[in-house]
Chains A and B, each alone.
Chain A
Amino acid sequence: MSEIEKIRVELTVNGKHHVLYVSPCKTLLEVLREDLNLIGTKRGCDDSNCGVCTVLVNGQAIKSCTMLIPLANGCDITTIEGLEREGGLHPLQQAFIDRFAVQCGYCTPAMILTAKAILDENPNASEEEIRDGLHGNLCRCTGYTKIMEAILDVRDGKYKESCGEV
């Protein structure tokens, strides 16, 4: 693997433009964690089954452990580090705290990003639609009930800002 030539990749991550020279065998997850030090994106299985590596790629929730870096070239990526703003937390982040939707927290960044993708696409998503959207994100601790409560609170406008534009 070390003999494979590096390729040039351009990524916009959390609004910041990056030019990177990396092995084409690397996954987006590895590049985010190892090359960009964005360690808020986690790793739990490597075969697209746990969802803790989820990030937004052009607004879509994508499991970064199975996206090879050439595929992400030119993409606009949002990780959990990109959600907090100057004025405070993103509504979903605040709602996760307020609703006790966090235990060990290992699934949390991915859950929040997936929820953001769901609500960005459909701000009035029903509980059923949100359940469908969260289907690929495992949580071992919370039983999902409080995660759903948090997302519904944001959907229902309990927080001043609506979900969206980060």
Chain B
Amino acid sequence: MANLIGKSEKRIDGYDKVTGKGLYASDYYNQFPHMAYIKAFRSPYAHAKIKKIDYTKAKALPGVIYILTGYEDVRWDDFPKMAIIAKDEVLWAGQAIALIAAETEEIAEDAVKLIDCEFEVLPFVSDYYEAIKPDPVSVIDPEYETRAQGFQDRPADRATNRVSPNIVGAYYMHTGDLEQGFKEADIIMEDEFSVGKKTASPLEPATAICKYEPDGGLTMISNGAGVHGVIKEHICRVLGMPESKVRVIQPYMGGSFGSRLSPYVELQTALMAMRIKRNVSYRFTRKEVFTAGPSNWSCTTKVKMGAKNDGTIIAHDYYLCEEIGACVNNTFFSGRLSSSGAAPCYRFPNMRMDTFAVATNTVPAAEYRGLGCPEAEWGIEIMVNRLAEKLKMSPVDIRLKNIIDPGERDIYGEVITSIGLKKCLLGVNEVIKVEEKPVQDGSVWKRGKGCAVAGKQNTPLGRSEAKVWYNSDGTIQLFISCDENGMGATTAMGQICANEFGVDLKDVKVIKGDTLCTPYDNYSASSRTTYNTGNAVMIACADCINKLKTEVARVYGLNPKNVEIKGKKAILKGTYVQEVDIPPLFKHWTMFTQGNWGLQQYSPVVGYGVYCPAPIHQWGPDGKSDRVWNWFQYSACAVEVAVNEETGVVKVVKIASSADTGNPINPEIVKSQIQGGVHMAIGFTTMEEHLYDEKGAQSNANFSDYRLPTIGEMPTNENVFALINPDPLPDGPYGAKGMAESITVPVGPAIEEAIYQAVGVRLNYYPMTAERVLAAIKEKKAREAAK
């Protein structure tokens, strides 16, 4: 059996998915009898007091089973109750006020319309600038106790020590001597940057089906992430249920991109099922996917950099604020996560980071592919491009001068063990050749080129376990609980397992995501699956192989050292045979043996593996520590765009993107992630953004008005280049690391630079919509005319 690592094996879920046979959460609807359906009555206002609410008419509607409100006696523990249901006060338009279970979805919908609710509208805060201005409106009315955990009074502005009631957390870091750095700089540039709010929008809306078990337990089938570490844990905690009575199954997921790590629909469905002791389902409408949450968190950054004439960046003063919506959910908000994007790429010998997070009366934010890094690195990468221009340097050279080399320390003081970023940058530049001017055709479409780089940390997120069975017929079963959002993790895990045993991928059956039989894993986030679960799989395989060696050795009276396992064969040293088939060594039990020792038919040899990355070390008052993150993934992107100078429309005509994935387990799956990642980033940096009406409600919460990129936004195939430039990760399985997040990060700043090269306008905000680009072009013309 040839080495399977680095081989593009076909996806193990391909057949299921091209035939429509693979089941997704909503495909289980037909399988459950006596099902109740949930619909929610949601707040139309961004901020209001619930003065009076009358459910009488809704309750009286035939077919309505139960109406669940914020007054239920539930042990919320440390889960933000407001994310599930409101009480007294609503904090964003879309927050659930009542959940109605009825015999059909239609009846539940009718009942929603019969709820009579009187609001006292309160002033609201819808963006970062309002949230931090002097004496801002408070996102949560001080009269109420709905103030969430995590809200702390922190200085919003260190200089003035002004405290905003909307600040939820802060983080501060400095290294070197910033003042001295700026003194030594030959040029200093600064600017402020910001981005819009976006929704990950997996095509399958959040869906949960909860089967009520006669023993008072429940079985949850949902497309949420983290069967153990998110869904089961939260159900047990919030509902106070015994672990023995909660089972969570994750069928195929129609995408997540981080958004399904927030178990809103799961908790709502489970609560209802336990109230009415029936099977219950809840499927978000597309509108709810937008307005019930989560969105990403947007960031506002201020970037001030000082550089020497040779391009060395010696001082960086960085300010960042995360805008997190109306409540702190199960993420940590202090600006630390997003600002980590400032760390992995460049040396920045003298740097200060001053970051915090602020709440607003908008949909609560949560993970979105990249964890704030696209937002955080946007301004940094643009600034590096601007420095290059000012210094008359190539944007490639200035980066090569400042990019960290393997073995160096980052700003926190951590050693970077794997960084292939220079190779990535050179790779994409070879395709796009950013230093060469593009050919202009004399039309209104002006061409420009640009590039950028990015890094994204991997947060150590706890434990992954794996279990492997070597069956008596020589087939192998792998049990894991990582998520399969679509990224191909189960195929990669299968490849690792098959490789360890020396068998074909088809000989390994991967069983995934069922808390009843698959062992613990926190969840798939921070691009950790290949690394974390992958290591657990390798350990489990080694354990199983060792046990198998011991058993085979017994049969032949050997030291297990002298046995080697190669798929269905054992290679023996020092006895009368050199090679034996393993399956015949498994004996059928008889009355005379009882099968109480040795290898027995239908009783698999079991291996078990646990992998936990080393814990991080608490940082000091200077924010530094020798272990803040785990490892870093890297990407570079270069683009050629065409900008219509009359309409402002931006078309990406050619794109090259490169990923440092460590050693890729399955290169074609990685390439498909690269292509999907750049496409997603083209969407959110040129098109997608939440818009709000005068009530503070999202006015484009549907796919007609919130446009996702289609195939038309992707360059034609010959103009898409997906490259892999690995620097093996020493502690990754076969040197692999994750890669799905950093891909999206450099796309926006590369496009921004290309727009500038094409039509001479700078943008500090994305999405860089046609309207914004056109406005900038007009402004530039007016400025020139005035001269």
By a CB distance below 8 angstroms, the chain B residues around A117 are: none
The chain B residue with its CB closest to the CB of A105 is: B17
Docked-complex contact B19 and A42, CB < 8 angstroms: no
| Per-residue A-contact encoding for B371-410, CB less than 8 Å = 1, 0 else | 0000000000000000000000000000000000000000
Contact with A along B683-721 (1 / 0, CB 8 A): 000000000000000000011100010111010110010
Q: Please, how many angstroms separate the alpha-carbon atoms of A138 and B255 in the complex?
A: 12
B702 and A49 contact, CB distance less than 8 A:
yes
B116 to chain A minimum Cβ distance, whole angstroms, is 22
A100 in contact with B672 (CB, 8 Å): yes
Chain A, 24-81, CB within 8 A of any chain B CB: 33-34, 37-47, 49-50, 52, 79-81
Cα-based distance from A80 to B486 in the complex (angstroms): 19
**Which parts of B1-57 form the interface with A (CB within 8 Å)?**
8, 10-11, 13-24, 26-27, 29-30
Over the window 118-150 of chain A, the binary record of Cβ atoms lying under 8 Å from chain B Cβ atoms (1 yes, 0 no) is 000000000110010011111111111111110
Smallest Cβ-Cβ distance to A142: which chain B residue: B676
Question: Whole-angstrom distance between the alpha carbons of A140 and B710 in the complex?
Answer: 9
Chain B: interface size category: 35 or more
How far does the alpha carbon of A108 sit from the alpha carbon of B19 in the complex, in Å?
A: 9
Check A106 against B677 for contact (C-beta < 8 Å): no
Q: Which residues of A contact B330 (CB under 8 A)?
A: none
Chain B residues within an 8 Å CB radius of A104: 202-204, 252-255, 485-486
Docked-complex contact B486 and A39, CB < 8 angstroms: no
With CB as the reference atom, state the residue of chain A lying closest to B655: A143
Which residues of chain B are near A163, meaning CB under 8 Å? none
Provide the bound-state CA to CA distance between A81 and B27, in Å: 14
Tell whether A96 pairs with B30 under 8 Å between CB atoms, given A46-B286, A140-B708: no
Flag whether B678 is at the interface (Cβ < 8 A): yes
CA distance A38 to B678 in the complex (A): 33
Query: Out of B30, B285, B676, B722, which one reaches A37, CB within 8 Å?
Result: B30
Contact status A97-B202, CB under 8 Å:
no
The minimal Cβ–Cβ distance linking B686 to chain A, given in whole angstroms, is 14
Instruction: Note all chain B residues with C-beta closer than 8 A to A1.
Output: 106
B680 at the interface (CB under 8 A from A): yes
A140 to B29, CA, bound (A): 24
Q: B255–A140 contact, CB under 8 A?
A: yes
Q: Is B448 an interface residue (CB 8 A)?
A: no
Beta-carbon contact of A100 and B669 below 8 Å: yes
Q: Which residue of B lies closest to A92 (CB)?
A: B18
Pairwise interchain contact B18-A97, C-beta atoms closer than 8 A: yes
A residues within 8 A CB of B26? 39, 42-43
Do A44 and B204 have beta carbons less than 8 Å apart?
yes
Chain A residue at minimal CB-CB distance from B743? A143
Residue A7 CB within 8 A of the other chain: no
Best-buried of B20, B26, B676, B712 by chain A (most CB within 10 Å): B20
Whether the pair B677, A143 counts as a contact (CB closer than 8 A) is: yes
When C-beta atoms are compared, the residue in chain A nearest to B713 turns out to be: A144
Which of A40, A49, A144, A149 interacts with B20 by CB under 8 Å?
A40
Query: Does B446 interact with chain A (Cβ within 8 Å)?
Result: no
A2-B104, A50-B203, A142-B672 given; A102·B14 CB < 8 A: yes
> In this assembly, does B416 line the interface, its C-beta being within 8 Å of a C-beta of chain A?
no
Please, which residues of chain B bring their CB within 8 A of the CB of A84?
19
Chain B residues with CB below 8 A from A49, complex form: 702-704
29 contacts between A and B (CB under 8 A): A2-B104, A37-B30, A39-B23, A39-B27, A42-B24, A42-B26, A43-B26, A44-B204, A47-B702, A49-B704, A79-B20, A81-B20, A89-B15, A96-B18, A102-B11, A102-B18, A104-B255, A106-B203, A106-B254, A109-B18, A138-B203, A138-B710, A139-B676, A140-B202, A140-B257, A142-B679, A143-B720, A144-B679, A146-B672
> Which residues of B come within 8 Å of A, CB atoms?
8, 10-11, 13-24, 26-27, 29-30, 104, 106-107, 201-205, 252-255, 257, 285-286, 485-488, 668-669, 671-680, 702-704, 708, 710-712, 714, 716-717, 720, 722
Q: Which residues of A contact B (CB under 8 A)?
A: 1-2, 33-34, 37-47, 49-50, 52, 79-81, 83-84, 89, 93-94, 96-98, 100-109, 112, 127-128, 131, 134-149, 152
